[in-house]
Amino acid sequence: MKGFTHLSVSDWFYRNRYIAGFTNPARSLYQAVRELVENSLDACEAAGNLPHITVDLKLISGRGAPKIYKLTVSDNGTGIPPQYVPQAFCTVLFGSKFELKQQRGLFGLGVKMAVLYSQITTGRPVEVTTCYDGCTEYHFTLQMDLKNNKPIVLSNRAQKLKEPRRGTTVKICLVGDYDRRLGSKSTGDYIREYLKLTTVANPHATILFSDPYDAVYTFERSVEKLPPLPREAVPHPHGVDVEMLKRMIESSRSTSLQTFLSKNFDRVGPKKALEFLKWAGFNPNKDVKKLTADEIVKLVNALKAYEKFLPPSPDVLSPIGAEELKAAISRLFNPEFVKTVTRQPKSYSGYPFQVEAGIAYGGPIIEGLCRGEGDFRLLFRFANKIPLLFDERGDVCRKVVESMDWKQYKVDDTTPIAIFIHVCSTRIPYKTAGKEMIADVEEIEEEIRFALMECARELRRYIYRKMKGIKEEERLNLLKAYIAEIADNLVRVVKEDRQKLVELMWMVVTKRVKSK
Amino acid sequence: MSSQSDYGGREWISEKIAQLLEKSVLKPLKAEKVPYFELLSRTKDNVFIDEEIQVIRLGNKKIKRRLSNIDEAKTFMRTVLIAAIIYEAIKNNKYPTIRDIFYDAKHTIPGTDIDTVDVQAESDNIIEDLEVMLGASREEMGLQTDVKCKVVGFMRVKSGRDIIDCSRQGEGGAYSPPTNVDRLEILDVSAEYVLVVEKDAVFNTLNMERYWEKNRCILITAGGQPDRPARRLIKRLNEELGLPVYVLTDADPYGFYIYSVYRIGSITLSHESVRLACPRARFIGVSVSDIYEYNLPKNVIIKAKEADIKRAIELKSYPWFQSQAWQRELDLFLERKEKAEIEAFSSKSLGFLEEKYLPEKIKSGHYIM
């Protein structure tokens, strides 16, 4: 990535804005919301605060094209130390370092892409208000020096706070189109769905959204507990490539191969490193800095081929949690039944990953959504706690959903169900640069299938019991009618109180039902 | 004998109905238990041949009709309903037909779209259940049926206040007994045997020819499947008066089965066999071997149908078809796969049946059992 700094940043952006999601005004608006919200979520989690994020989108110049919007996103996160604010918002790739972590943002660029897009389309500065220490609030207006990839500070003032608080508010102006339709939905629909689903994948977050028509949407948190922060991981030997290894060697001190491996790789200790180097035919004492280019390639290939490394550490992952996911689905979709599951962590090609799934059944919301879907099962996908709203048809999740034998689970084309699938990993294997489609990695596919089967089995039990319950109700109704008829005729022969007979008969037949 | 009893004497049955409901329904309910009716099963696996009296009898297998079981509850409900109808009929001195009972019972249960009974077979079946549970026949209950039975011959009977001479029924006329044949008083009989004819048409022919007069017999038919009055009357003539009984049917497995019903009873009415079956009834013909012995022409012999073959195989396994004679007949049928009607004898000459075949066979004692 370092190579990119030699390019003009604006050139780089123009060449890459498609893959970063900034294609047309409609999609760019959606993408800008995403970047700011995800940035805020990261800041809140880092601060250990339950996220409370407000998103405000207003049309400020709407006559004729292009439409210019002002987007304001506030959070209660860590805040940013004032000395870093200009670079944090206006220097692309600032602070981004080589790391392997379950993270939300695309490319680790986050908010800077949105700022860049804002500046290119409107020329207006970004406004940042932040409080890091809890008592002084700093207000910046910033611009990017695109040519030199440096921030230009237009204004900067500080203000003592009477009430201590932390957090950051970012305002950008950008060309967008809230009402334009992307397929069957408008940009606004996508933004609202994105925010709503973000609170499914992040049940501890509350998001308020005020749209250009002043409609306010509130997505309240469903749990009061913060998830553990994902730990930064060192790479697993199976997941390394030549470029990565080169950079790791560059940033390393001069040391033996054995020490280098045991210090920089996941699940590799000195013993395992020695074992491996012997197997691969390397001298364990060789200085890592003295490896030739050919030797580096040979080492990478050997690292990938060696089968005795332990699987990658799973503790770098931060799943949503089955209970939390269930709480969020229940709150936002209010289904009749919901089953969620978090699978054990697994790995593919040296990267740990974990699959979570949920199936929600029934209730007016899901019934309504399913009517809109036609014969296509309602599916919500998440990768590293970010909802994926586009390119569903090419996704491995869709592939698994379509390949399941749903009839076996008493689910037919008219059964109202919504399926939720979350994949978290230190590296999500996206199919395309658009990062909306998870690739058909066999290990992931299998885990998704197992997770769905687990939920579906529970659903089948529920549907079965429900159907039986309806039958039981029919049975009791029939018995009730028979009992009335029997009582009518009994009193033709014996001297008994009809009502008393009805009550006795009803009692004995229902008592029997309960004792079954 | 109940034939002597007055028709008003049905109170014991209404008392039994009240006792049945008390025991099966009220008592368990008061103990907060699920009420049920229990009765002997009238199915093939619960019948046996009583060697001593040579009729079909019910075994000991009992079935329950519980109120709590949704399938049994409907039958439970029908049982109470029809028991109440019969109870009131007795109380009000009414003599409904079993079809009247069906119509009286049939109504839509309030709050549902379900009828208490849909077809008469259902109410008839309940009446038979009640016969088993009450130990009383439907005739004793005073229930009337369509009587298919016709009788003609030198016999006088007293029915109610009337004396009927069964030999004075006009040209081709015959006497039709009441539902409850036990209420008939047989005054005098001047006959040597009873000839039971399966088919109404053949009965009519023989009657027009005054076969009964020429051969000193009593001629009876029930027009196919025998009804209870025919069976009861035949049994009485056989057992009270010692008249031999001969049964004449078509030469096919259906005819043989009808004979077996006269002789040992049927599975569904096995609870009534002791009253209805006539174990000494003899099968006079037409037998399968008669077809060939009498050289019936090929064109009157009928090719057996699939159903006939099936039925013959079934009959072959019934305990009451195990005699050598019957096994031979059935084997012959299964071998030739041919059958014939009684009327086939007319192909030899009109009157062959009554003038040659029947007198010859009865005289020679050429019957099978």
| DSSP string for A445-464 | HHHHHHHHHHHHHHHHHHHH
pLDDT tens, position by position, for chain B (369 residues)? 343 344 558 899 999 999 999 999 999 999 999 999 999 998 888 888 888 888 888 899 999 999 988 889 999 999 999 999 999 999 999 999 999 999 999 999 887 888 999 999 999 999 999 999 999 999 999 999 889 999 999 999 999 899 999 999 998 899 999 999 998 999 999 999 999 999 999 999 999 999 999 999 999 999 888 999 999 999 999 999 999 999 999 999 999 999 999 998 888 888 888 889 999 999 998 999 999 999 999 999 999 999 999 999 999 988 889 999 999 999 999 999 999 999 999 998 899 999 999 999 999 988 998
Task: Read off the pLDDT band of A513 (50, 70, 90).
Answer: low
Task: Read off the pLDDT band of A391 (50, 70, 90).
Answer: confident
Tokens at B48, concatenated: 């046996």
Rounded Cα distance between A297 and A73, Å, is 46
| Cβ-Cβ contacts under 8 Å, B22 against chain A | 494
**Residue B285 near chain A (CB below 8 Å):** no
- Looking at chain A, the whole-number percentage of residues with pLDDT higher than 70 is 91
**Residue B29 near chain A (CB below 8 Å):** yes
**Residue A484 near chain B (CB below 8 Å):** yes
Q: Do B68 and A507 touch (CB under 8 A)?
A: no
- Higher per-residue pLDDT: B226 or A15: B226
Q: What is the model's pLDDT at position A10?
A: 58
Q: Do B84 and A489 touch (CB under 8 A)?
A: yes
Cis peptide leading into A387, omega within 30 of 0? no
Helices (H), A58-110: 85-90
Cβ contacts below 8 Å, chain A against chain B, sum to 84
Helices (H), A108-186: 111-122
Q: What is the model's pLDDT at position A516?
A: 44
The residue among A129, A102, A126 whose CA lies nearest residue A113 is A126
Number of residues assigned to chain B: 369
Please give, rounded to a whole number of angstroms, the shortest distance from the CA of A516 to a CA of chain B: 12
Nearest to A509 among B22, B34, B109 (CB): B34
Nearest to B29 among A481, A504, A512 (CB): A504
Residue from B20, B21, B71, B126 whose CB has the most chain A CBs within 10 Å, to mutate: B21
In what order do the strands lie in the sheet containing A167-176? A150-160, A136-145, A126-131, A167-176, A67-74, A52-61, A206-210, A216-219
CA B96 to chain centroid: 20
**A438 neighbors A383 (Cβ within 8 angstroms):** yes
- Looking at chain A, the whole-number percentage of residues with pLDDT higher than 90 is 52
Q: What is the model's pLDDT at position B5?
A: 42
Please give, rounded to a whole number of angstroms, the shortest distance from the CA of A465 to a CA of chain B: 19
DSSP 8-class letter at A302: H
**A75 neighbors A168 (Cβ within 8 angstroms):** yes
Mean pLDDT of chain A: 87
| Cβ-Cβ contacts under 8 Å, B88 against chain A | 492
Q: What is the model's pLDDT at position A375?
A: 58
Cis peptide leading into B117, omega within 30 of 0? no
**Residue A65 near chain B (CB below 8 Å):** no
**Residue A470 near chain B (CB below 8 Å):** no
Nearest to A490 among B21, B110, B114 (CB): B21
The residue among A358, A421, A385 whose CA lies nearest residue A203 is A385
DSSP 8-class letter at A30: H
In the three-class reduction of DSSP (H, G, I as helix; E, B as strand; rest coil), residue B79 is classed as helix
Task: Read off the pLDDT band of A420 (50, 70, 90).
Answer: very high
Please give, rounded to a whole number of angstroms, the shortest distance from the CA of B352 to a CA of chain A: 59
Question: In the block, which residue shows the tokens 């309910």?
Answer: B29
A455-482: average pLDDT: 90
Nearest to B70 among A478, A483, A494 (CB): A478
| Cβ-Cβ contacts under 8 Å, A480 against chain B | 111
**B60 neighbors B92 (Cβ within 8 angstroms):** no
Q: What is the model's pLDDT at position A11?
A: 64
Tokens at B171, concatenated: 């040209």
The residue among A442, A462, A377, A452 whose CA lies nearest residue A422 is A452
**Residue B5 near chain A (CB below 8 Å):** no
**Residue A244 near chain B (CB below 8 Å):** no
A434-442: average pLDDT: 87
Residue-wise DSSP of B6-23 = -TTTTHHHHHHHHHHHII
| Cβ-Cβ contacts under 8 Å, A475 against chain B | 70
**Residue B35 near chain A (CB below 8 Å):** yes
Nearest to A494 among B18, B32, B33 (CB): B18
Nearest to A492 among B76, B88, B109 (CB): B88
Pairing of strands A351-361, A337-342: antiparallel
**B120 neighbors B128 (Cβ within 8 angstroms):** no
Beta-bridge partners for A155:
A141
Q: Do A494 and B74 touch (CB under 8 A)?
A: no
**Residue A473 near chain B (CB below 8 Å):** no
DSSP 8-class letter at A314: G
Q: Do A505 and B74 touch (CB under 8 A)?
A: no
Side chain identity, residue A274 = L
Residue from B70, B123, B126 whose CB has the most chain A CBs within 10 Å, to mutate: B70
Rounded Cα distance between A275 and B62, Å, is 80
Q: Do A479 and B70 touch (CB under 8 A)?
A: yes
Beta-bridge partners for B150:
B221
ipTM of this predicted structure: 0.83
| The three-state (H, E, C) secondary structure of A232-293, written as one string | CECCCHHHCCHHHHHHHHHCCCCCEHHHHHHHHCCCCCHHHHHHHHHHHCCCCCCEHHHCCH
- Looking at chain B, the whole-number percentage of residues with pLDDT higher than 90 is 78
**Residue A479 near chain B (CB below 8 Å):** yes
Residues of B involved in catalysis: 103
Q: How many CB atoms lie within 10 A of CB A140?
A: 22
H or E element in which residue A153 lies: strand A150-160
Is the pLDDT at A338 greater than 70, yes or no? Answer: yes
Each residue's pLDDT tens digit, A218-261: 999 999 988 887 777 788 888 888 888 888 888 888 889 999 99
Each residue's pLDDT tens digit, B303-354: 999 999 999 999 998 888 999 999 999 999 999 999 999 999 999 889 999 9
Q: Do A486 and B67 touch (CB under 8 A)?
A: yes
**Residue B70 near chain A (CB below 8 Å):** yes
A416-430: average pLDDT: 93
The residue among B136, B227, B218 whose CA lies nearest residue B181 is B227
Q: What is the model's pLDDT at position A426?
A: 87
Residue from B66, B81, B92 whose CB has the most chain A CBs within 10 Å, to mutate: B81
Tokens at A315, concatenated: 């503790």
Q: What is the model's pLDDT at position A165?
A: 83
Assessment of whether the complete model's pTM goes beyond 0.80: no
- Higher per-residue pLDDT: A482 or A233: A482
**Residue A503 near chain B (CB below 8 Å):** no
Is the pLDDT at A186 greater than 80, yes or no? Answer: yes
A148-167: average pLDDT: 87
Please give, rounded to a whole number of angstroms, the shortest distance from the CA of B126 to a CA of chain A: 15
Side chain identity, residue A378 = L
Task: Read off the pLDDT band of A80 (50, 70, 90).
Answer: confident
| Residues 6+ away with beta carbon under 8 Å from A312 | A233, A236, A238, A239, A266, A267, A347, A350, A351, A352, A426
**A412 neighbors A321 (Cβ within 8 angstroms):** no
The residue among A166, A171, A119, A111 whose CA lies nearest residue A143 is A119
Q: Do B76 and A482 touch (CB under 8 A)?
A: yes
Residue from A492, A502, A507 whose CB has the most chain B CBs within 10 Å, to mutate: A492
Beta-bridge partners for A126:
A142
CA dihedral B198, B202, B204, B209 (to 10 degrees): -130
| Cβ-Cβ contacts under 8 Å, A501 against chain B | 29
**B3 neighbors B182 (Cβ within 8 angstroms):** yes
Pairing of strands B302-303, A206-210: unpaired
Rounded Cα distance between A21 and A30, Å, is 9
CA A429 to chain centroid: 14
**B234 neighbors B220 (Cβ within 8 angstroms):** yes
Q: Do A489 and B111 touch (CB under 8 A)?
A: no
The residue among A317, A340, A314, A316 whose CA lies nearest residue A222 is A340
H or E element in which residue A200 lies: helix A187-201
| Residues 6+ away with beta carbon under 8 Å from A491 | A498, A501
